[in-house]
Amino acid sequence: MVDKFDKKTRSRVMAAIKNKNTKPEVNIRKALFAKGLRYRIHNKKLPGCPDIVFPKYKAVIFIHGCFWHNHDCKHGQLPKSNVNFWEEKLQKNVERDKKNIQILKYMGWKVKIIWSCKLKNKKEFQSIDYANDIVEWIKDMC
């Protein structure tokens, strides 16, 4: 199959994708703040630079984009051009994610992954439901 974009356009499209403060991430943060949880974001001192960090509970959350972290859903599909490059790149991302999670757990941190496909195009209540789950997850740690 042929990609609908030429190589130059595909590169520009992929480079324009945000890696921080994405809509799913911001929605979850707003819902958590409304629940009274306080957190830090994008702590570069921790492996993987977690999206949301709860230092008080030694817990982190990654909100993974399905494409970039090779999720098995419709949003995680490879482009139809330069397939070998993308397979190799995404496999390295998965390996890096596993390593970072392993190091965080070794350091005593609790880790939660939320896939962006679970939050995409959903109403605000979806983020609130996730916030409720996160509150319960944190309570279970105490």
The enclosing domain of 88 has a CATH number of: 3.40.960.10
Does 54 score more than 70 pLDDT? yes
How does DSSP assign 30-45, residue by residue? HHHHHTT---EE--TT
- Give a yes or no: residue 72 inside a domain: yes
β-strands 59-64, 110-115 pairing = parallel
Confidence band of 68 (pLDDT split at 50, 70, 90)? confident
The pLDDT of residue 56 is 93
Q: How many CB atoms lie within 10 A of CB 88?
A: 10
| Phi, psi of 96, rounded to the nearest 5 degrees | -65, -40
- Give a yes or no: residue 38 inside a domain: yes
- Give a yes or no: residue 1 inside a domain: no
Q: What is the DSSP letter of 105?
A: H
- Whole-number Å distance between alpha carbons of 138 and 94: 25
The count of structural domains within the chain is: 1
pTM of the model: 0.82
- Residue 22 contacts residue 63 (beta carbons within 8 Å): yes
- Give a yes or no: residue 8 inside a domain: no
- Give a yes or no: residue 4 inside a domain: no
72-111 pLDDT, tens per residue?
888 778 877 788 988 999 999 999 999 999 999 999 999 9
Query: Quick check: helix, strand or coil at residue 59?
Result: strand
- Give a yes or no: residue 6 inside a domain: no
Does 127 score more than 70 pLDDT? no
- Give a yes or no: residue 3 inside a domain: no
User: For residue 83, what are the domain limits?
Assistant: 18-141
